Amino acid sequence: MSKPTSGRIAYVNARLLDPATNLDVMGGLLTEGEVITDFGEGYAKADGQYGDADIVDCQGACLTPGLVDIRVQLREPGEEHKGTLKSAGEAATSSGVTSMVCLPNTQPVTDDMSVVEFVARRARLLGLTKVYPYGAITKGLQGTDMAEMGMLSESGAVAFTDGVRAVASAKVMRKALAYAKNHDLLLVQHPEEPSLAEGGHMNAGALAARMGLSGIPKVAETIMVARDVRLAEDTGGRLHFAHISTAESIDIIRRAKERGVRVTCDTAPPYFSLNELAVGEYRTFAKLSPPLRDEEDRRAIIEGLKDGTIDIIASDHAPEDEDSKRLPFAQAAFGGVGLETLLAITLELYHNKHMSLLDCLRTVTCNPADIIGLSAGRLAVGAAADLCIFDPDRGWKIDADQLASKSKNSPFDGRLAQGRCLRTVIDGRTVFTLEQ
């Protein structure tokens, strides 16, 4: 039911929510072609103020900037049987995600300008969620020699990371931070000391002991967060930690921010909505990296989100096919799909009264856009008409088989959720509407 993009479209009778400006009013929004041309309070009904524009009556639903998801694994190019740009785009739009930043762990790795250009061109042709590639910090993600970060940045890489691998050598990380600072580039670290995580499959602790699985200690994460905070401080480089999972990491980052270190971080929905008990019965769909931690950590993550220590919620979308997941726990791959559930699980923080609706949305709109440096995530005249219209109260059951993702490995399969995306608009075009 996509509309022609040439004309004007008025979204009326909507609760306008713009976290960047703390706007929360009943009103309407007008788009013309690809951009927002007007919005504001008062246009509660289709009363003719928008002239000849096509009218979309939102019936009181929330209208926000489209979500910005900074941690998505596409699997294309290289592992299209697990996921493609198209399947990720469809999964993303069903959750109101209009911009996503994809990890460089494709085959070939995004350590070369041609891969950046390939992904950007393919995504443009699809016309679904906008895709921005990360470039690799090190060549081949091998953790030894720096990739051509300056030239990758000029060709369109928005930030740099070795994806699901940590830059393990402190020497390499220090040089990379110093080099990135030159070009004012952001580095994103997967904070996990490989020598401590090696051979582990779930959170180290009582449950792992009972289940007879080898654990990944929390200190594997905190030791690297602490190390890299020092390196960022020393070099003046800009650093972001992906998917923080432990209470102590949050403490270290909180203190670093107080000192003025240029450090930010994100977490993913499983880390504030699930704990290690989810892997009971050896459920490999809940085998994530980092592993789900204990209840104390889960609560600390929520506190970190509330006080702003954690800046962003990212889906950490990691498609894995049946062959990689229907295995004995120790042999199964890490990771879960998360695009489709990003909005609904994030809204749990609002429904559980931990955060206001605007604060909740801030972590998936303007905060990620600002940290990565995208001109997205806010309602503004002249900005791209990337919108998410959602009903915060709509109940639904997450069913892995119904997911748009090519891989169905969701840790939230069977969960009852509250809050659902009704319509997603990208550059003024409706790319998703919920079938009623």
Question: Stretches 100-108, 146-154, 185-193, 405-413: which one binds other proteins (CB under 8 A)?
Answer: 146-154
Peptide bond into 77 cis (omega under 30): yes
Question: Stretches 145-153, 206-214, 286-294, 306-314: which one binds other proteins (CB under 8 A)?
Answer: 145-153
Please tell me whether residue 114 binds other proteins under the rule CB under 8 A: no
Comparing C-alpha atoms, which of 133, 127, 129 is closest to residue 113?
Answer: 133
Task: Give me the catalytic one of 294, 297, 311, 316.
Answer: 316
- How far apart CA 309 and CA 311 sit, in angstroms, is 6
For other proteins, the binding residue among 41, 117, 145, 323 (CB under 8 A) is 145
What are the Cα distances from residue 368, in Å, to 97, 270, 354, 373? 12, 18, 20, 8
CB of 138 to other proteins, least distance (A): 7
Question: Stretches 62-70, 173-181, 310-318, 409-417: which one binds other proteins (CB under 8 A)?
Answer: 173-181
For other proteins, the binding residue among 138, 267, 284, 405 (CB under 8 A) is 138
Question: Stretches 142-150, 328-336, 357-365, 392-400: which one binds other proteins (CB under 8 A)?
Answer: 142-150
Please tell me whether residue 167 binds other proteins under the rule CB under 8 A: no
For residue 316, indicate whether it is catalytic.
yes
Q: Which long-range contacts (CB under 8 A, 24 or more apart) does 356-359 make?
A: 357/17, 357/24, 357/62, 357/392, 358/17, 358/19, 358/22, 358/24, 359/19, 359/306
CB of 134 to other proteins, least distance (A): 15
For other proteins, the binding residue among 61, 85, 149, 318 (CB under 8 A) is 149
Please tell me whether residue 254 binds other proteins under the rule CB under 8 A: no
Please tell me whether residue 93 binds other proteins under the rule CB under 8 A: no
Contact 87, 74 (CB under 8 A): no
Which of 153, 405 has the CB closer to other proteins? 153
- How far apart CA 26 and CA 288 sit, in angstroms, is 40
- In one letter, which amino acid is 85? L
Contact 149, 135 (CB under 8 A): yes
For other proteins, the binding residue among 144, 352, 375, 402 (CB under 8 A) is 144
Question: Stretches 20-28, 172-180, 249-257, 270-278: which one binds other proteins (CB under 8 A)?
Answer: 172-180
Residue 181: both structure tokens together: 């600072």
- How far apart CA 316 and CA 301 sit, in angstroms, is 16
Please tell me whether residue 139 binds other proteins under the rule CB under 8 A: yes
Site string for other proteins, 210-229 (x = CB under 8 A): --------------------
Site string for other proteins, 353-372 (x = CB under 8 A): --------------------
Count interface residues toward other proteins (CB under 8 A). Answer: 16
CB of 175 to other proteins, least distance (A): 5
CB of 137 to other proteins, least distance (A): 10
- How far apart CA 346 and CA 392 sit, in angstroms, is 11
For other proteins, the binding residue among 92, 147, 225, 247 (CB under 8 A) is 147
For other proteins, the binding residue among 8, 86, 181, 262 (CB under 8 A) is 181
Place of tokens 């041309």: 37
What are the Cα distances from residue 177, in Å, to 25, 97, 187? 42, 30, 7
For other proteins, the binding residue among 33, 40, 77, 150 (CB under 8 A) is 150
The catalytic residues are 316
The contact set with other proteins (CB under 8 A) reads 138-139, 144-151, 175, 178-179, 181-182, 235
